[in-house]
Structure 1
């Protein structure tokens, strides 16, 4: 897809999480009052299903923690555990 937005945060959901939430991509505008939210704060604000502790978090294609501050233009991805066989 395209490059991260110059303003706000691009949030992407994958696999079963995407299906449970009913969307795959969302744009979160960076509010002036709190310009550097964390993935944990956005997870709660978006009321995403399941437990964040079981989900991998990536910012700009690099795995990180749920408490890493986000910045304008970042791409945040939530990746649920995937089972296969």
Structure 2
């Protein structure tokens, strides 16, 4: 079980800020594929992963990162500074 957090427009498209997900995914990319297959809201939110960032247990990571031992996965758009 992994806790998945959605921020900004991802949260709006999916309709929730967080959820517990039972997954057999080996990597973040595998988890995204599982989420996309759930329904159209997830498919739309994860349509272009190049426009997303991911953090595993609050550390920025990549979509090819392994999920073994990870408790929290957070998805969010790139941050802008100013």
TM range (shorter): 0.7 to 0.9
Output aligned runs, 1:1-85, within 5 Å.
8-30=1-23, 34=24, 37-47=26-36, 48=42, 49=45, 50-72=47-69, 74-82=71-79
For 1:37 and 1:25, locate their aligned partners in 2 and report how far apart those are by CA, in whole Å: 20
State the TM-score, normalizing by the size of structure 2. 0.74
Using the size of structure 1 for normalisation, the TM-score is 0.72
Bigger share in helix? 2
RMSD: 2.1
Aligned partner of residue 46 in structure 1, secondary structure: helix
Name the count of aligned residue pairs: 74
Q: Which runs of 5+ in 1 are unaligned?
A: 1-7
Larger Rg over CA atoms: 1
